[in-house]
């Protein structure tokens, strides 16, 4: 098990939901935290305050992770304020429902950009620092939708399946450099995203309820601590997809 005290973790989309829970859980293990978000200044500032109350350093960085200039600016700020991130959690995402009868090319492109291109851009931006440290942990949020299709639409399922291919490539390529790369694929979890998806219901989940953000964050912490797990997908879905 690794000692995480003083390591720098960049968590995208950490102002609320799953990202916020992962940021706080990593702070609880001793990491300093960069809290990325897109628009909700107050929520991000509150997460930073909570991290500081845990005795760790924290900075909030507003950046749209689907835009490469924003990603590079974000990573530059984190390096200056906290140091090079050796832990990256690609969590930022959108889940906007579109049926196959109404989805447009723009809907597709918007979701692929925020859910998938963002992970590629952010990994590329932090990799030089991780490679110099010869230690890194990359975790990206996929979804059970990658495996079963789900309720949001083809754009979302494809973006989350793309995360798995991205994870496999980087895991294979970086294994010899002390950098592990894994994915977490949740089923429905109680957050604003899930609340906004009217077709999601606990009846769809064999255990009969949505997951909690803590049930996701504890696995993220385990993946950061463990250096022998790489290239894997962790299904946390109440039995919605059986692997
Ligand atoms: P959420 O409650 O909607 O929170 C989304 C977070 O992402 C917010 O912090 C938001 O920032 C940020 N964000 C969105 N677009 C961004 C962008 N372009 N650049 C930077 N930040 C951006 O979502 P969640 O339910 O916690 O989901 C987190 C991840 O888990 C997502 O990738 C999602 O697809 C995945 N997931 C969720 C579920 C579920 O049931 N909840 C299931 C499977 C997978 P602001 O607050 O500033 O808007």
CATH number of domain containing 97: 3.40.50.720
**E strands present in 86-171:** 87-90, 136-141
> Look-up: residue for tokens 């495996």?
147
In a domain, 133, yes or no: yes
Ligand 1: centre distance to CA 176 (Å): 31
Q: Does the predicted model carry a pTM greater than 0.95? A: yes
Residue 3, in any domain of the structure: no
Task: Identify the CA nearest to 219 among candidates 237, 205, 203, 204.
Answer: 237
Asked, for residue 70, whether it belongs to a domain, the answer is: yes
Atom 18 of ligand 1: nearest residue by CA position: 64
In a domain? residue 242: no
- Between the alpha carbon of residue 225 and those of residues 137, 198, 206, 221, the distances in Å are 9, 36, 30, 6
From the candidates 156, 170, 173, 241, which is the catalytic residue? 156
37 C-alpha vs ligand 1 centroid, how far in Å?
9
Domain that holds residue 191: 8-236
Each residue's pLDDT expressed in tens, for the chain with a length of 243 residues = 457 999 999 999 999 999 999 999 999 999 999 999 999 999 999 999 999 999 999 999 999 999 999 999 999 999 999 999 999 999 999 999 999 999 999 999 999 999 999 999 999 999 999 999 999 999 999 999 999 999 999 999 999 999 999 999 999 999 999 999 999 999 999 999 999 999 999 999 999 999 999 999 999 999 999 999 999 999 999 999 999
CA of 98 to the centre of ligand 1 (A): 17
- Verify whether residue 169 is a known catalytic residue: no
Listed in order, strand segments (DSSP E) in 101-231 are 136-141, 179-186
Tell me, using a 6 A CB cutoff, whether residue 64 lines ligand 1. Answer: yes
The CB of 238 under 6 Å from ligand 1? The reply is no
Look at the chain and report how many structural domains it folds into: 1
- Is residue 84 domain-resident? yes
Is residue 110 situated within a structural domain? Answer: yes
Candidate from 193, 198, 219 with most ligand 1 atoms within 8 A of CB, to mutate: 193
Looking at residue 3, its pLDDT comes to 72
The residues with which 162 forms a beta bridge, in sequence order, are none
User: Residue 6 CB: number of other CB atoms within 10 A?
Assistant: 13
Q: 94 lies in a domain?
A: yes
Among protein residues, the one whose CA lies closest to atom 29 of ligand 1: 91
Tell me the C-alpha distance between 169 and 165, whole Å.
6
CA of 112 to the centre of ligand 1 (A): 13
243 domain-assigned? no
Cβ neighbourhood burial of 173 (10 Å; 0-12, 13-18, 19+): exposed
CB contact at 8 A, 56 and 29:
no
| pLDDT attached to residue 1 | 43
């Amino acid at each position: 098990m690794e000692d995480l005290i003083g390591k720098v973790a960049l968590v995208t989309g950490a102002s609320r939901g799953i990202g916020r829970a992962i940021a706080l859980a990593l702070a609880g293990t001793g990491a300093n935290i960069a809290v990325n978000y897109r628009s909700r200044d107050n929520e991000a500032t509150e997460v930073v305050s909570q991290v500081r109350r845990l005795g760790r350093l924290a900075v909030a960085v507003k950046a749209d992770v689907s835009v490469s200039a924003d990603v590079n600016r974000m990573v530059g700020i984190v390096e200056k304020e906290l140091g090079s991130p050796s832990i990256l959690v690609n969590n930022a995402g959108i889940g906007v429902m579109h049926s196959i009868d109404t989805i447009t090319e723009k809907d597709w492109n918007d979701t692929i950009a925020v859910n998938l291109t963002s992970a590629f851009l952010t990994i590329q931006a932090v990799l030089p620092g991780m490679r110099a440290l010869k230690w890194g942990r990359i975790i990206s949020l996929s979804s059970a939708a990658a495996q079963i299709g789900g309720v949001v639409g083809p754009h979302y399922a494809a973006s989350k399946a793309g995360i798995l291919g991205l994870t496999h490539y980087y895991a294979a390529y970086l294994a010899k450099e002390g950098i592990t790369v894994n994915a977490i694929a949740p089923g429905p979890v109680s957050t604003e995203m899930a609340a906004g998806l009217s077709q999601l219901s606990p009846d769809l989940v064999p255990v009969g309820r949505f997951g909690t953000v803590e049930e996701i964050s504890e696995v993220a912490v385990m993946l950061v601590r463990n250096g022998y797990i790489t290239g894997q997908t962790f299904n946390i879905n109440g039995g919605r997809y059986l692997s």
